[in-house]
Amino acid sequence: MLQFYYSRLSINARRVWVTLLEKNLEFEPILMKLNGDQFQPDFLKLNPFHHIPVLIDDGFSIFESLAILDYLEAKYPEPSFMSTEAKDIAKIRTIELVTVNELPPASIVLMKDMLDVEVEAKQIEKAKQTMAIVLQYFEDNLSENNPYFIGEKFTYADLVAGTAVSSIPLLGISLEPYPKVTKWLKNLQQRESWKQTAPSPEEIEASKAIMKAILQKRL
């Protein structure tokens, strides 16, 4: 059976978790606390960079969430969350990469500010600008009449961007100026996979001490 190393609050893990659920795959969830357990020798053998998510399929171990999604799509193609149209493939890939390249550095700065970890005012300003550019890019790529980025089809663009955008309001950034993004997020929240993987307010609160320790590089 597939083994999935994750944590309830990890956006990088959530995109894999949603994919496993959406593909109706059976898996054994292995919950990591990220309180130092990610540095244990057994875990470092799975990912020398001490990150979750990690997926193991019959002894074959994979890390990097987008690589895991590629693997799951190739090995378990039904239902498919990719397209075969050249322009759609480019759009899905761009949205995935904008999400994983642009959002995390900005999120880390805003998280530091929120958790009272030292960060310069100009970095905060820059992070807010990046958030606004990314959200506007998503807004411009959604339409009034379709539920998802690629029309009626739910794809990795929705899955990857959606799991990340869901947590942006927690950083004090309002989605109100982006009505299409807000509506799209509501569509995603209707999905069973979304409901099942959403962290509760208590879990979010409880994770703050560990997040602060990671951001202060105390772990």
- 175 DSSP 8-state letter: -
Q: Which stretch binds ligand GSH (CB under 6 A): 50-58, 109-117, 156-164, 205-213?
A: 50-58
Residue 159's Cβ-side half-sphere holds a number of Cα atoms within 13 Å equal to 28
Q: Counting contacts by CB under 6 A, is residue 51 touching ligand GSH?
A: yes
- Tell me which amino acid residue 170 is: L
Q: Which helix (H) or strand (E) holds 45?
A: helix 41-46
Of the candidate residues 4, 5, 12, 211, the single one contacting ligand GSH (CB under 6 A) = 12
Q: Which stretch binds ligand GSH (CB under 6 A): 44-52, 74-82, 182-190, 194-202?
A: 44-52
Residues 52-91: x where in contact with ligand GSH by CB under 6 A, - otherwise, as a string: xx----------xx--------------------------
Which of residues 22 and 70 has its CB atom nearest to ligand GSH in the complex? Answer: 70
What angle in degrees, to the nearest 10, is found between the helix axes of 86-114 and 156-165?
A: 10
Q: Which stretch binds ligand GSH (CB under 6 A): 10-18, 110-118, 191-199, 201-209?
A: 10-18
Neighbours of 8 (CB within 10 A): 18
Which of residues 108 and 142 has its CB atom nearest to ligand GSH in the complex? Answer: 108
Instruction: Using the structure block, give the residue that is written with the tokens 């942006």.
Output: 168
Assess contact for 162 and 25: CB atoms under 8 A: no
3-state secondary structure of 29: strand
Which of residues 64 and 88 has its CB atom nearest to ligand GSH in the complex? Answer: 64
Assess contact for 191 and 14: CB atoms under 8 A: no
Q: Please report, as ranges, the residues that interact with ligand GSH according to CB under 6 A.
A: 10-12, 34, 38, 50-53, 64-65, 100, 214
